[in-house]
Structure 1
């Protein structure tokens, strides 16, 4: 059994190959929230908030119990050979807990594969790219699609979407390191269209175009990103994007990229030569690493702040008569 939230919520039974899909929005919200908090007790009050928000029914406790009972019937526990059946959804004060037991979740698999892929990037960018594509292939649509707008599901969906975008950035960085620039320009064009304010995608597209010998298109991609940032946010491109533009502009006739060429470093138009520690490529690499560290630190802080705020609000709500 695998509980899936990278798309519409469902449970996949590997024995039959048939997904189990909750039929109603409340059932999807309940299952989604329990999967997000798998192996943790979720209070009944918090689940009521997740399903009904500010407009719970008069008999909210009974209505929640009915949805839990329906979900239990949807998840029959097949007995293992010589063992008692595994009960997925159990009552535990002050609410309920989904016990994964022998099952897993696609979100946990995604996080495991992305960590593995990033770890491979410095030594084997080609394999890193392959692992990251496997991770991203787990997505079937927006995370927790159709699970309502409760706090648990909506916060987790936002965090998972950011993780997906960061994984895409890591994927295309690895592809550049593996000398696959020609394979990814189309995909990056689509990403810059879908996420026009995400500078990292523009920078990766510029690098890929440059390495394919398409310098003019790389500079045009910068101009397009510049116009969009100024128009929509009123800001100039950041140092990483500007630095990439300057590095490309200062090489008027880049050699076309060929698959047989040695792969260049993952963050600059050309790899720095020995003794070029202060060259533009090294400066860009340092800027990129610093940018990624700040990005990860910001995500960690935001996740911690959101969790603390949610726990505080939940405690306040529970204490309110």
Structure 2
């Protein structure tokens, strides 16, 4: 039996194909919290906080017991329909302090996802093609937002955020693997969507710029940098990090390190890949974005210096005023 968190919280018996989705957000939240904390005791009070937050019912402990009893029946029902299951497994154990779900690490889709991404990360430098396939399989396990449909208290909300970060990292690794195998022409559209959906995640801009450059679309790659910079400044008030700035400079100077990685080659001679020409991008045009950025940085430094001088001047005025008041008070005394 597999407990599934990568989407709507549910249980599936893979032997029979039976799939059970707990009814009600609180039932799903209870199951999600116990699965997240599998093998560890979860106190009654923490589960009450998870299900009801700051507004628990007057009989919260009794209400929790009722939800646990329903969840036990649900899990027992899944097992009873399995033709190969003869001894029921006591999934939820009551302890003196709360409840524990007894669960092996491999019994969740989240664990399978993590195993596949860890293996892909290990082999990515030497076998990017196989790594890309493993990451594609890992990402196919996602059916929607993690722990979807549950009341997200601290336990479920924290795990959902962690899993979403792992999903985005897996996407970054997968497209990195595709670039390493020469598939840059296939992924530009998908990367454009990712930069739109995650406008402050610099790695997606990085991958898109490399893909465009390798397609011979240097001007578009540079415009992606400008778009990334504008979004970061507007959303976060920060400039792009050194990796993205370094990539922009590498593109401007046609750094040989940006050349497309060699993918599997068919038998016989392979014609050179056509490179799109950008007639509207002269050498001066290419350098212009970098010059404009340097000028903007100089202006920003000057503004910061002026603000610092104004604050220092104001501080000196306040100090002098305070000293005068103290002296005048001493004279009156």
TM-score by length of 2: 0.74
Q: Are the structure 2 counterparts of residues 80 and 255 from structure 1 closer, same or farther at C-alpha, using a change threshold of 3 Å?
A: closer
Gaps of 5+ in 2: 267-333
Q: Could you tell me how far 1:191 is from its partner in structure 2?
A: 0.4
1:44-85 deviation digits (Å, cap 9, x = unpaired): 111111001111111111100000000011111347869632
Q: Which has the larger radius of gyration?
A: 2
* Matching of residues 164-243 of structure 1 within 5 Å: 164-243=167-246
After superposition, residues 36-185 of structure 1 pair within 5 angstroms as: 36-76=36-76, 77-78=79-80, 84-101=87-104, 104-185=107-188
For the residues of structure 1 that align with 2:223 and 2:261, how far apart are their CA atoms? 19
**Does the Cα contact within 8 Å between 1:212 and 1:258 map onto a contact in 2?**
no
Identify the range of structure 1 (102-111 vs 226-235) with the bigger mean alpha-carbon deviation.
Answer: 102-111
Distance in 2 (CA, whole Å) between partners of 1:219 and 1:41 is: 53
Q: For 2:182 and 2:35, how far apart are their aligned partners in 1?
A: 39
> What displacement does 1:149 show?
2.4
Q: Distance in 2 between matches of 1:258 and 1:209?
A: 16
1:257 Cα deviation from its structure 2 partner: 8.5
Q: Does the C-alpha gap of structure 1 residues 255 and 241 become closer, same or farther in structure 2, counting only changes over 3 Å?
A: closer
Q: Cα distance, 1:103 vs. partner?
A: 6.5
- Measure, in 2, the Cα distance between the counterparts of 1:108 and 1:220: 39
Q: How large is the Cα RMSD of the aligned pairs?
A: 2.4
Q: Deviations over 1:111-146 (max 9, x none)?
A: 111000000101100100110111111111111111
**Preserved CA contact (<8 Å) 2:90 2:102:** yes
Give the C-alpha shift of residue 250 in structure 1. Answer: 1.1
Query: Could you tell me the TM-score, scaled by structure 1's length?
Result: 0.76
- 8 Å contact from structure 2 (residues 2, 108) kept in 1: yes
